[in-house]
Amino acid sequence: MVKTMGETKWDILYDPKKKSLFSRIEEFAINTYFSDAFVKAILSASKIKSGKIFEPGSGGGMACAKFAQKGFEIISMDLSENALKKGKELFNFLSLDGKFTLGDLFNLPIKNNQFDVVFNQGVMEHFRLAKMDAPAGVKEMMRVLKKDGTLVILVPAYFSPLYFIYKFFKFFNLLEKYWPYTDQDFLHKHELYQMMHKAGCKNITVRRLWSSFFFSMIGYCKKNDEDE
């Protein structure tokens, strides 16, 4: 059941009538290649072959659809009604089962200890830009993980190919016309590590994701008894 939260900037981003050219290119690249790379990286980090997966900040839902095709139980959450609508349409088109909920990452409408994997991609960097407490969001994601579950966070990497494309657009004042967001953040390895560490994560691994052509940084950890 999707509850109305009012239009957000993300609703505008996922409105097909308002999508920029770069947004369309980005969506095509994610759908045709990067979602596969992210799913493989998440499965490699978690080492699971079945279970429940939750993506807060799911966007158009392609990664969730890839997991659903592999037989995982999926819950997809976003702050944008348009994003969830897009995800539901995708699942319906592919004849997949999944649950969709409208919600806030900092106040997840979910009980403790529910999922084998909690992940998102291209989400946490936006909270840094907005001067919000990103580690508080990470802590909420950890809360809904089962014991021995895996948290995975993917963010744009500093000095990645996308970083230089962004700088080019910014230098020539093309961001407002072509870029999907009003601004963009790129993280160093130590910045993603610190975000997760401040949330109480332990035994954290952070590295550049080579299969994304180094566009993305991946950070992951397991939930243990001390995190309860």
184-215 confidence digits (pLDDT tens)? 899 999 999 999 999 999 999 999 999 999 99
pLDDT, tens digit, 9 for 90 and up, residues 5-56: 455 555 555 566 666 666 777 778 888 899 999 999 999 999 999 999 999 9
CA distance 135 to 127: 9
Question: What per-residue confidence (pLDDT) applies to 1?
Answer: 38
**Higher-confidence residue: 57 or 129?**
57
Quick one: pLDDT at residue 4? 45
Residues 6+ away with beta carbon under 8 Å from 221: 150, 151, 196, 201, 202, 203, 204, 205
In DSSP terms, which residues pair with 217 in a beta bridge?
Answer: 155, 208
Give the list of residues 6+ apart from residue 118 with CB closer than 8 angstroms, or none.
Answer: 53, 54, 55, 56, 141, 142, 144, 145, 149, 150, 151, 152
Residue with tokens 């910014």: 170
pTM of the model: 0.90
Q: In the block, which residue shows the tokens 């897009």? A: 86
What pLDDT is attached to residue 148?
Answer: 96
Per-residue CA distances from 125 to 6, 81, 134 (Å): 23, 21, 8
Q: Is the pLDDT of residue 84 over 80?
A: yes
Q: What fold, for 9-227?
A: Rossmann fold (3.40.50)
**pLDDT tens, residue by residue, 98-134:** 999 999 999 999 999 999 999 999 999 999 888 899 9
